[in-house]
Structure 1
Amino acid sequence: MTSTTAQPTTSRPPTADGVTVVVMSRDRRQDLLATLPRHEAPVVLVDNGSTDGTVEAVRAALPQVTVLPLAENVGARARTIGAGHAGTEFVAFADDDSWWAPGDLARAAAVMRAHPRLAVLNARVLVGPEERLDPLCAELATSPLGTPPHLPGPRLLGFIGCAAMVRTEAFLAVGGFDPVVRFPGEEERLSLDLAATGWDIAYVDSVTVHHHPSPRRHDPATRRTAIWRSRLLTAVMRLPAGDVVRTVTAALRAGGAERRGLWGALPDLPAALRLRRRLPAHVLADLRLLAGDAR
Structure 2
Amino acid sequence: MTDVTVVVATRNRRDQLLDSLDRHAGPVIVVDNGSTDGTADAVRDRFPGVRVVRLDHNAGAAARNVGAELARTPFVAFADDDSHWAPGCLDRAAALFRAHPRAGLLTAQIRVGRSERLDPVSAGMAEDPLGSPPDLPGPAVLGFLACAAIVRRDAFGQVGGFNPRLRIYGEEELLAMDLAAAGWGLAYVPELVVHHQPATEGRDLRRRHRLEARNRLLTAALRRPAPVVLRTAVETWRAPQGRSALLDAGRELGWILRHRRRLPAPVEAARARLDRWDRSAGQVRDVCPVESRGVRRA
Q: TM-score, normalised by structure 2?
A: 0.89
Provide the rounded CA distance (Å) in 1 between the counterparts of 2:85 and 2:174. Answer: 24
1:48–1:70 Cα contact (<8 Å) kept: yes
Q: Which amino acid aligns with 1:194?
A: L
Partner Cα separation in structure 2 for residue 38 and residue 175 of structure 1: 29
Offset at 1:217? 5.6
Q: Which runs of 4+ in 1 moved over 6 A?
A: none
How many angstroms does 1:219 deviate by? Answer: 4.4
Paired residue type of 1:242: P
Task: Give the equivalent residue in structure 2 for 1:117.
Answer: 102
Extract unaligned runs of 5+ from structure 2.
280-298
Distance in 1 of aligned mates of 2:208 and 2:26: 30
Per the alignment, residue 131 of structure 2 pairs with 146
Bigger shift: residues 104-113 or 86-95: 104-113
In structure 2, the CA distance between the partners of 1:243 and 1:51, relative to structure 1 (3 Å rule), is same
Q: Which position in structure 2 is the counterpart of 1:7?
A: none
Structure 1: gaps of 5 or more residues: 1-14
After superposition, residues 60-75 of structure 1 pair within 5 angstroms as 60-75=45-60
CA gap of 1:255–1:190, structure 2 versus 1, over 3 A, is closer
SS at match of 1:82: helix
Question: How is 1:68-83 mapped onto 2 (pairs within 5 angstroms)?
Answer: 68-83=53-68
Relative to 1, partners in 2 of residues 1:189 and 1:255: Cα closer, same or farther, differing over 3 Å? closer
* Structure 1 residue identity aligned to 2:49: Q
2: CA distance between counterparts of 1:203 and 1:220? 28
Equivalent residue for 1:214, pick from 199, 204, 210: 199
1:39 and 1:225 map into 2 onto residues whose CA distance is 32
Q: More deviation in 210-219 or 85-94? A: 210-219
Aligned to 2:275: 291
Q: How many residues align?
A: 278
Change (3 A) 1:60 1:267: farther
Q: What is the TM-score with the length of structure 1 in the denominator?
A: 0.90
The letter of the residue matching 1:142 is E
Moved more, 49-58 or 242-251: 242-251
Q: Is the 8 A contact 1:129 1:212 kept in 2?
A: yes
- C-alpha displacement at 1:269, in angstroms? 3.2
> Structure 1 residues 255, 178: CA separation in 2 closer, same or farther (over 3 Å shift)?
closer
Counterparts of 2:239 and 2:151 in 1: how far apart (Å)? 36
Q: Distance in 2 between matches of 1:179 and 1:99?
A: 24
The answer to whether the 8 Å contact 2:213/2:239 transfers is no
Correspondence list, 1:42-121, <5 A: 42-121=27-106
| Residue of 255, 259, 269 corresponding to 2:243 | 259
Identity of aligned residues (%): 53
SS of the equivalent of 1:205 reads strand
Distance 2:62 2:211 in 1: 15
Contact in 1 for aligned 2:217/2:236 (Cα 8 Å): no
Kindly provide the amino acid, as one letter, of the partner of residue 235 in structure 1: A
Code of the residue aligned with 2:194 in structure 1: it is V
SS in 1 for 2:241: helix
RMSD (Å), alpha carbons? 1.6
Q: Which amino acid counterpart does residue 163 of structure 2 have in structure 1? A: D
Q: Return the letter of the residue paired with 1:262.
A: L
Aligned equivalents of 1:227, 1:217: Cα separation in 2: 18
Which residue in the other structure is 2:283 paired with?
A: none
Alignment match of 2:223 (pick from 214, 228, 238): 238
How many Å separate the matches in 2 of 1:153 and 1:279? 23
Corresponding position of 2:295: none
SS state at 1:71 partner: coil
Q: Which residue of 1 aligns with 2:208?
A: 223
**Whole-Å Cα distance in 2 between the matches of residues 213 and 269 of structure 1?**
34
Indicate the residue corresponding to 1:180 in structure 2. 165
